[in-house]
Amino acid sequence: MWAIELKEIEVGYNKFPIIKRMSLKIESGDFLGIIGPNGTGKTTLLRVMAGIIPQWKGEVLIQEKKLLSYKRKDLAKLQGVVPQQSFFSLPFTCFDVVLMGRFPYVRWIEKEIDYETAIHAMKLTDTYKLKDRSIHEVSGGELQRVRIARALAQSPKILLLDEPTAHLDIHHEIGIFEILKKLNNEGLTVIIASHNLNTIGAYAKKLLLLNNGELIKLGPPDEVLKKELIEEVYKSSVLVKENPITHTPLIIPIVK
C-alpha cells in the first residue's frame, strides 16, 4: 500500500507557485528524506501531505484514500506532524503538551491508555524528566523533543517532520534519528525534511532532492548524493566520500 501518493499537484502562496506539477508515491514503511536548498519547497510539500494547506491542482491520497475525504480526527490518527515551530500562549506543562497528542482518541476524558502512551512517548524522546516543567521554561532543543513526543503520542502510521533536529545538539540529534530508525523498522512511515545531508543520508532509505519546487532526483542516498547533483543544486563545491563507519555518502564542503 502507498502511504502517500501525490498526483500532479501544484501549490503555492498568493498566486505564486512553489510546488510545480509534482507526482510522487511513498511506500508504507519507507523512510524518506526531503532535501534541497532554502526556499525550494520542502516545508510546503510536507504541509500539502499533512493537509495543512490545500493543493491548487492535482490530488493527494493518504493510504489510497483522498486526503480531503478524511475527518480531521481520523487523519490525525494516521499522521503525526512535527512542524519547525509551534507556539503555546498558555504555560502548559510539557506532559500536558504531549498528552494533547491523544486528542484524536479522547471522547470525554483521557483514559489510562492515553496517559501510558504519552509517558512512553516522553521516555522515548528523553523528555519525561521535563513532564512537570512549563513549556515556557524549556530550551529550544527541549521544546522540539516535546513536539516530537506529542506527535508520537498520536500513535500514527505516518510521521511528517520538518527540520526536527535543527535546534538539537549532536547527542540529541542522533538520539532522535535512532528513535525514528527504530520506529521505522517497526513499520512507521517516516518523512522528514532536513538540511543535514550527512545525517539524513545515513538514516533515510530514500532521498528526494528538490530544487525550485521541482523533483530533481528520487532514490537511495548513494544515487542522490552525487557530487554533480549537489554542486548543481546547492551552487557549492563539495567532495563526496564514503563514511567509513556507516558506508553512506559523506558530503564535505570545499572551503577556498
One-letter-per-residue 3-state SS of 192-212: EECCCHHHHHHHCCEEEEEEC
Per-residue pLDDT at 210: 95
Is the pTM of the predicted complex or chain greater than 0.85? yes
Per-residue pLDDT at 63: 93
Per-residue pLDDT at 48: 94
Per-residue pLDDT at 139: 87
Q: Where are the domains of the chain?
A: 2-226
- The CATH architecture to which 2-226 belongs is 3-Layer(aba) Sandwich (3.40)
Tell which residue, 220, 184, 186, has the closest CA to residue 201. Answer: 220
Distance between CA atoms of residues 157 and 79, nearest Å? 6
CA dihedral 9, 14, 17, 23 (to 10 degrees): -10
Per-residue pLDDT at 141: 82
Per-residue pLDDT at 91: 85
Per-residue pLDDT at 256: 74
pLDDT per position in the chain (256 positions), as tens? Answer: 899 999 999 998 888 889 988 999 999 999 999 999 998 999 999 999 999 998 899 999 999 999 999 999 999 999 999 988 777 778 899 999 999 999 999 888 899 999 999 999 999 999 999 999 999 999 888 888 899 999 999 999 999 999 988 878 888 889 889 999 999 999 999 999 999 999 999 999 999 999 999 999 999 999 999 999 999 999 999 999 999 988 999 999 998 7
Q: What is the torsional sign of CA 223, 225, 226, 228?
A: positive
Integer CA distances (angstroms), 73 to 11, 77, 103, 147, 179, in order: 24, 6, 8, 18, 25
